[in-house]
Amino acid sequence: MIHHGQGLEDWPATIDTDSEPGGEDCKFLNVIDCIRDSITSVTSIGEEPDMSVFLLIEEIQCCMSIISSAERVYKKHGFLFLAQEGIHYLIDHILFQSFIWELLPEHKVKSTIADSRVLTTLLFAIRQTFYTEQRAVLHGQALYHEFEKKRSDPEHRLIRNVHRLEKGLSMKNRRPVFAEGYIEETVTDAIETHSTTENPNKQLWWALDVLDEYFETVEETEVIRKAAIRFNEFKSSIEYESGNRIPQLRKSLENDSVSYKEFRKLAEQRTSTRWFQQKPVPRELVDKAVETAVESPSACNRQPFEFRIYDDEDIIEEITKLPVGVSGYEDNIPCIAVIVGKQRAYFHNRDRHVIYIDASLAAMSFQFGLETLGLASCCINWPVIPQRERKMSKLLSLDDDEQVIMLMAIGYPDPEGMIPYSEKKNLDSVRSYNKV
């Protein structure tokens, strides 16, 4: 039996082809038209069919839906793509969903596989489910060490260590001595970064401020004394003036609080908007929203992401061919952001998921920022489909450690466009206290 609601748009992309409809392939459209006409004539029967005929009609209508989906895929990607995707669809959906899972309970089979490390590893290796991430993680670790040697800007080790110093300085019961294990490395990183940077950015000055405060605060040991001498000699050799970029009391912040009512209103106003006015999105407004996004929390302040903004119609057209879930409104997007994670910020496998966490935190702040500026947005899911990942990587010239986290449509909302209501879960279903 064909499972209702499954069309070719749901097929995972597994084929690399740039073939377009044309030439002899155009005859395929005529075949589809003939099949559709035949099915339509078959379904035009009496007004009161019995149950068996009714079920047959239902199945035939499902076939028509799949044929229509096939036509859309063909027009968008070409016959070769459609044929090979069709094979994958038949195996994955028809064979498994209609036959295998009817004979073997799917939940029991998958639970059995999940309980075996060997079977789980084998399954995902065959499907290449995690290959892109694994490859990016290894390339990221290689780049981490390579970039630490080049030091064109404060790189991630320096940023991480300075943040560790900040946390130590912020402790209420601060130890008189801390960071001996990495203070020499941090001073060396700061000196070498400054020497290789023509125009040091504000993160380097932040690092120097924190180091200066650290040596003024901690008790001196032999390790700290040597590092302090090197740092002070370096500091006196450059044009440096403290900017007070150091830990401060919470009460020193401006107390211009936003009320809960105002924030709740903003959160409810932010909706997934898919219909936009067809006018340019000012880059200065997008930049303001990005500046808000970078204030989001980030593990050790490494901010392993980039907001790639596209407002060129041709590039947007190519980008929107790849994600799922944009069918029907892809031609209505005046600006799109591709949020990219960078594994180069980390030296250990344990941090491989931080790019998703940090980028998502920033994306939410970005959306709120857009909303306050009169712009609407819609998050676009990026599927873990190896073929599409390769296509996107090639299209955007992504580095080997870079992964797409999500996409986001941006524009001035069309006031006459519809938006989903999307009732959210109730409080009790998403919150618990002291649950063990």
Residues 398-426 pLDDT 10s: 999 999 999 999 999 999 999 999 999 99
pLDDT band at 313 (very low <50, low <70, confident <90, very high): very high
Task: Give mean pLDDT, residues 317-334.
Answer: 93
In a domain, 260, yes or no: no
* 306-317 b/e (C-beta count within 10 Å ≥ 16 → b): bbbbbbeeeebe
Residues 169, 92 share a domain: no
Do the beta carbons of residue 210 and residue 164 sit within 8 Å? no
Instruction: Point out the domain boundary residue: 103, 127, 151.
Output: 127
Residues 273, 401 share a domain: yes
pLDDT at 4 > cutoff 50 = no
Domain count, the chain: 3
CB atoms inside a 10 Å sphere around CB 106: 12
Residues 95, 36 share a domain: yes
Mean pLDDT for the chain? 85
In a domain, 90, yes or no: yes
DSSP 317-342: HHHTTSSSS-TTTGGG-SEEEEEEEE
Record the tokens describing residue 7, joined without a space. Answer: 């069309």
pLDDT at 43 > cutoff 70 = no
Q: Helix (H, G, I), strand (E, B), or coil: what is residue 310? A: strand
Which has more confidence, 37 or 429?
429
In a domain, 253, yes or no: no
Record the tokens describing residue 156, joined without a space. Answer: 């991630």
Lowest mean per-residue pLDDT among 22-36, 46-60, 93-107, 244-258: 22-36
Instruction: Point out the domain boundary residue: 127, 144, 173.
Output: 127
Given this model, what pLDDT does residue 52 score? 63
pLDDT band at 105 (very low <50, low <70, confident <90, very high): confident
> Residue 288 belongs to what domain range?
265-411
Residues 318, 275 share a domain: yes
Given this model, what pLDDT does residue 183 score? 97
In a domain, 255, yes or no: no
In a domain, 300, yes or no: yes
Given this model, what pLDDT does residue 35 score? 57
Residues 392, 296 share a domain: yes
Given this model, what pLDDT does residue 29 score? 54
Nearest to 342 by CA among 299, 399, 404, 402: 402
Given this model, what pLDDT does residue 104 score? 83
Q: List Cα–Cα distances, 168 to 138, 405, 421, in angstroms.
A: 31, 32, 46
Residues 160, 89 share a domain: no
Task: Give mean pLDDT, residues 163-178.
Answer: 95
Residues 407, 271 share a domain: yes
Residues 113, 195 share a domain: no
Residues 175, 44 share a domain: no
Given this model, what pLDDT does residue 79 score? 77
In a domain, 422, yes or no: no
Record the tokens describing residue 158, joined without a space. Answer: 């320096």
Task: Give mean pLDDT, residues 204-216.
Answer: 95
Q: How far apart are CA 76 and CA 201, in angstroms?
A: 45
Which has more confidence, 54 or 375?
375
Task: Give mean pLDDT, residues 281-297.
Answer: 97
Given this model, what pLDDT does residue 37 score? 60
Q: Which CATH number does the domain housing residue 273 bear? A: 3.40.109.10
Highest mean pLDDT range out of 83-92, 162-171, 187-196?
162-171
Residues 88, 118 share a domain: yes
In a domain, 123, yes or no: yes
Residues 149, 117 share a domain: no
Lowest mean per-residue pLDDT among 107-111, 232-236, 272-276, 329-333: 107-111
Given this model, what pLDDT does residue 225 score? 96
pLDDT band at 21 (very low <50, low <70, confident <90, very high): very low
In a domain, 249, yes or no: no
Give the pLDDT confidence of 135-156 residue by residue, as tens digits: 999 999 999 988 877 766 568 8
Q: In what order do the strands lie in the sheet with 335-342?
A: 305-310, 335-342, 402-411, 376-380
pLDDT band at 75 (very low <50, low <70, confident <90, very high): confident
Given this model, what pLDDT does residue 14 score? 39
Lowest mean per-residue pLDDT among 8-22, 115-129, 367-381: 8-22
pLDDT at 27 > cutoff 60 = no
Residues 389, 276 share a domain: yes
